[in-house]
Structure 1
């Protein structure tokens, strides 16, 4: 895991670079030379907080509204068997 440090100005100008850097580890964002914020990947955040994902959280994630859910056709039930 590597730590990346960028200034708040650099973060504002190139947030995409900071987001990509979270794949390697936390990104420290400085303001006037002092660390002010830390940017983490969601995986690192969950690992630190111990929060477990549930199906409701996963379904509420942004961007999922464009995914099509294919539900297979329902199987017909067999006729009941007379055991008398």
Structure 2
């Protein structure tokens, strides 16, 4: 994971740069989701989870996690639609 020695802001900047260069990179999106989840920033993970669900439609865990994050972020109706 791109933690850069526990420097979360730097890690997130590096991941954003990587995603600018390769927007369909599953590992970069997944790494950013993991960082956001570790930081209890589920709302920030929503866009990456949407991208992961599009990039890997057969991987149902992305959609489940998206629904959970939407629900936790107060977007309950939207979260329930994803489930």
TM-score interval, smaller chain: under 0.3
Instruction: State the structure with more CA Rg.
Output: 1
Task: Tell me the TM-score normalized by structure 2.
Answer: 0.27
**Whose helix proportion is higher, 1 or 2?**
2
**Whose strand proportion is higher, 1 or 2?**
1
